Structure 1
Amino acid sequence: MNKPPLHILIAAPRGFCAGVDRAIKIVELALERYGPPVYVRHEIVHNRFVVDRLRGLGAVFVEELDAVPEGRPVVFSAHGVPKAVPDKAEARGLDYVDATCPLVSKVHRQAERMVEKGRHILFIGHAGHPEVIGTFGQVPGGCMQLIETEEDARTVSVKEGAELGFLTQTTLSVDDTAAIIEILKERFPQIESPRGEDICYATSNRQAAVKAIAPQVERMLVIGAPNSSNSRRLAEVAERLGVPARLIERGADIDWDWLGTPAKVGITAGASAPEVLVREVVDALGERFELTEEEAEHEPEGMTFKLPRQLVA
């Protein structure tokens, strides 16, 4: 039988960012340095394929430090951890390696500086996300309030005369965050902004890439984990532009009834999704369609982050 034709337009940039690359490399180097098992507090990044591969190399993923045996090293995830976590590791005499993305660490430092200046922080982010928990854990309790929506920004109550600042999670929707910030600045004209943009370059670039290809396609497949904030935002960006989108973890997750027989489909991948999964999705489409493939034009990303000295010395 003849396969129906399908043109796939692949977003660029997509997939791994510098922070994810660094975090995965840290676990690999820790395994080389210490030998398995190396313990990792929480998923190193939000991607099951990546976590399972590292587990196969000898990484053991745990929720809390209490599960790390004496004498074994532990790696903290790319999302960052509250200050209490390394403090507890030191108190137990554990060797630990911090794989927090440097762009998340930058937000942590800004939070500390704002609080030192006596400012109360309105933090834009998603409740329960590891990055939010880690950032709140950088400053004393009560110094920060969470803003999740435009409605929160309109109704948040702060102490009269309080000096304010705002910060954001690094993996948010660029457009949603801009709208929330506009409301906060309207309500609190003296609110202090972060130095530079908190939303990371990779999140912004991947959302812009989806916006560039969305008008040309009928469906959008976003490769990423359901608990990956930046991946979920990519699907939302497409949907808001009127393009039905699905978040899938890999090729076997494609809903063929939903996909139908479009002429053009867009593909992108969140910052924690490896390129091998993009190829897997393309191969799955190739089993049912006669494919032509095009990668969107883009400016290449050249960002890299240094590895911890203890692993490269």
Structure 2
Amino acid sequence: DLRLGVVAQTTQPLERVRALVEAMRRRFPETDLQFVDTVCQPTKDRQQALRELAADTDVVLVVGGSESNNSRKLVELARGLGRPAYLVASAAELHAEWFVGCACVGVTAGTSTPDAIVDEVRAWLERH
């Protein structure tokens, strides 16, 4: 009897992990395949909030460091939803040309991004 277990990095989009598990179940139908959802709730919440945000925005800003896998995955998710998306560590990285013709800009942040940096980005957007 073949037994398989699936462990995924917690910042992976849950849809991607579930698709992998289903593909494995189709490929190995005779196996006992176990998957335990280990994605942390704050990550799930941010991903779901981004899905809702992206539906109503022209462009998405993700505030977070380039070393943050969580932040990079949020950018990837937004782009996968058909929205231009940019990862910025601070307001100093913003470019006005990103927002030309945009009626609504969505802002989200990685789980470890300080609120003060998000506030700085929001303030920049309000001034421009």
One fold, TM greater than 0.5?
yes
Instruction: Specify which of 110, 125, 128 is matched with residue 285 of structure 1.
Output: 125
Q: What is the SS of the residue equivalent to 2:108?
A: strand
Q: What is the SS of the residue equivalent to 1:192?
A: strand
Indicate yes or no: 2:104 matched with 1:273: no
Deviation string for 1:65-103 (max 9, x for gaps)?
Answer: xxxxxxxxxxxxxxxxxxxxxxxxxxxxxxxxxxxxxxx
Instruction: Specify which of 205, 212, 237 is matched with residue 52 of structure 2.
Output: 212
Are the counterparts in 2 of residues 225 and 248 from structure 1 also a CA contact under 8 Å?
A: yes
Are the counterparts in 1 of residues 2 and 32 from structure 2 also a CA contact under 8 Å?
A: no
Are the counterparts in 2 of residues 172 and 203 from structure 1 also a CA contact under 8 Å?
A: no
- What does residue 64 of structure 2 align with? 224
TM-score by length of 1: 0.39
Q: Which has the higher helix share?
A: 2
Q: What is the SS of the residue equivalent to 1:165?
A: strand
The offset of 1:171, in angstroms, is 0.9
- What does residue 5 of structure 2 align with? 165
Higher-Rg member (1/2): 1
Indicate yes or no: 2:34 matched with 1:193: yes
- Aligned amino acid, residue 285 of structure 1: L
The offset of 1:259, in angstroms, is 2.3
The offset of 1:210, in angstroms, is 0.5
How many residues were matched structurally? 127
Give the Cα–Cα distance (whole angstroms) in 2 for the partners of residues 261 and 280 of structure 1.
22
Give the Cα–Cα distance (whole angstroms) in 2 for the partners of residues 200 and 191 of structure 1.
25
- What does residue 241 of structure 1 align with? 81
The offset of 1:224, in angstroms, is 1.1
Are the counterparts in 1 of residues 4 and 34 from structure 2 also a CA contact under 8 Å?
A: no
- Aligned amino acid, residue 81 of structure 2: L
RMSD after superposition? 1.6
Give the Cα–Cα distance (whole angstroms) in 1 for the partners of residues 114 and 28 of structure 2.
41
Are the counterparts in 2 of residues 222 and 248 from structure 1 also a CA contact under 8 Å?
A: yes
Query: Which consecutive segments of 4 or more residues in structure 1 shift more than 3 A?
Result: none
Instruction: Specify which of 82, 93, 97 is matched with residue 257 of structure 1.
Output: 97
Unaligned runs of 5+ in 2: none
Are the counterparts in 1 of residues 21 and 35 from structure 2 also a CA contact under 8 Å?
A: no
The offset of 1:286, in angstroms, is 2.1
Q: What is the SS of the residue equivalent to 2:5?
A: strand
Report percent identity of matched pairs: 35
